A = this chain, B = another copy of it.
Amino acid sequence: MTATTGLAERLRTELGADSVVTDPDVMSSYQRDMMPLAPAGSPQVVVFPANTAQVQTVVRACAEAGVPIVPRGAGSGLSGAANAIDGCVVLVTSRMNEIVEIDPDNRLAVVQPGVINLEFRGAVEKHGLFYPPDPSSYDWCTMGGNVSTNAGGLCCVKYGVTTDSVLGLEVVLADGEVLRTGRRTVKGVAGYDLTKLFIGSEGTLGVITEITVALKPLPQAPGTTIAAFSSTEAAGAAVAQIVREGLVPSLMEIMDASSIQAVEEYLKTELGAGKGCAALLLCQSDAGGEAARHELEVIEQVCQSAGADLAYTTHDLAEGQMLLQARRAVLTALEIYGTWLTDDVCVPRTRIAELISGCERVSAECGLRIAVVGHAGDGNMHPTIVYDANSPEEFARARKAFDDILAIGLSLGGTVTGEHGIGKIKRDWLAKEIGPVGMRVHREIKTALDPGNLFNPGSMF
């Protein structure tokens, strides 16, 4: 019996046979997340623990066998952080999918990591409560994955990212011990903020087995303003002015000409690309009543002053959702042209137009379509490169464009990832962004908490 067989056997004995998979065909569907650029290896075992005790069992068995663990939620990530490495154990949290508690009086909830974001949103809505983080994959991504990547979404301009909604965690550490971080109170400063250290750590420090989140009151149904601009500079100026006016819309998204054109073709609709529309800005206000009307009125005026060719506001929910559909359809629409590769860069809000024009330059240089969509309200842009997956040469050009965009982001005072994470594709860029002292501190913390490099080695750094 080899060591490998031994580990699978041990896990079968301790977890039950239906929790352990070694069939290569089945395992292959747990090899990758949604980022085609990132390397992915072949696991030796895929395990589906049902509870914290079983996670401890897996961690201890792997630690003893010297086999690395790659924790994984649904695999909707866009950085390769959940990608397997050769010979690893992939630990899938999908069976730990219980909403443990919803406490409306204290506006908090406790969930297991495998709970689907959308299911959780629905469950708390029944109590008149709101869980803000809404990554694009919210209908299939898991709460554990959201915490591990510190996921964002369309909500962030007003409600922040995942870390802003998490009160505490339960984590299984490298030696199999259970750490509880944080608390059930809305404030608390007892000790280091370990909760926020584990959030966004991409599975490199431990396995998250329970999450306590803070909830907000359910906001009002949003009103929506859409504005069309004949230049990205004018759209960028509108975004900057909206920020300067002290407005905090609940959503502020931008689409460039390439995105608009793709959506027009895909949805068979008319958004103005043929008439020189270079950028669409979509804003929502969920402030309700007079406040929302005022907020969107000012936004409409700002857009017009910045040179919008058209600006339109509706307080009809269905119409607003229809307008937003254009934004949500961009990635799917781009599949008309080929395979997409979406980048993730966040710049100061005043530099958005420069980022978009930079992407136009990169597109011209590499000869590939690059569509820019993004969360204008927080400067988080997703330039998306379209290429032919069957052409290694196009893939190489796409890869170069991906990096060129990150360089532009950094040069504008931005970061190489606003919400997707470092994972296995941006390790070099993390080092470029934070420098040698930052990298040293990362390694010191990693070594302190995971001296055997058990958790997700090769991710992040």
Contact = CB atoms under 8 A, between A and B. Distances in A.
Contact of A190 (B181, B422, B445): B422
A156 interface: yes
Interface string A347-368: 1111000000000000000000
Contacts of A152: 187, 189
Contacts of A180: 434-435, 437-438
Contact of A415 (B163, B185, B445, B447): B185
Interface stretch (A25-33, A93-101, A197-205, A387-395): A197-205
What copy number does this chain have within its complex?
Answer: 2
Interface string A180-214: 11011111111111101101110000000000000
B418 A349 contact: no
Contacts of A415: 183, 185, 187-190
Interface string A421-455: 11000100110011101101110110111000000
A135 to B, nearest CB: 12
B434 A185 contact: no
A216 B67 CA distance: 47
Interface residues of A, number: 90
Contacts of A189: 149-150, 152, 161, 200, 415, 417-422
Interface stretch (A171-179, A301-309, A397-405): A171-179
Interface string A96-137: 000000011111000000000000000000001100000000
A419 to B, nearest CB: 6
A247 interface: yes
Interface stretch (A47-55, A286-294, A310-318): A286-294
Contact of A106 (B196, B200, B350, B442): B350
Contacts of A183: 346, 414-415
A271 interface: no
Contact of A192 (B186, B188, B429, B445): B445
Interface string A138-172: 00000000000110100010000101100000000
Query: Which 3 pairs show the lowest CB-CB distances between chains A and B?
Result: A217-B246, A448-B448, A188-B415
A272 interface: no
A30 to B, nearest CB: 23
A235 B200 CA distance: 39
A434 B196 contact: no
B179 A240 contact: no
A434 B190 contact: yes
Contacts of A187: 152, 156, 161, 346, 375, 378-380, 415, 418-419
A437 B106 contact: no
Nearest to A107: B243
A416 interface: yes
B193 A199 contact: yes
A40 B362 CA distance: 61
A244 interface: yes
A218 interface: yes
B418 A184 contact: no
A191 B448 contact: no
A287 B288 CA distance: 12
A194 B348 CA distance: 20
A407 interface: no
A248 interface: yes
A69 interface: no
A129 B246 CA distance: 8
Contacts of A156: 186-187
A459 to B, nearest CB: 11
Nearest to A415: B188
B186 A349 contact: yes
B105 A191 contact: no
Contact of A244 (B105, B379, B430): B105
Interface string A271-294: 000000000000000011111001
23 contacts: A150-B189, A150-B193, A152-B187, A161-B189, A178-B437, A179-B441, A180-B438, A184-B348, A186-B349, A187-B418, A188-B418, A189-B419, A189-B422, A190-B426, A190-B429, A190-B433, A191-B422, A191-B434, A192-B445, A194-B438, A216-B248, A445-B448, A447-B448
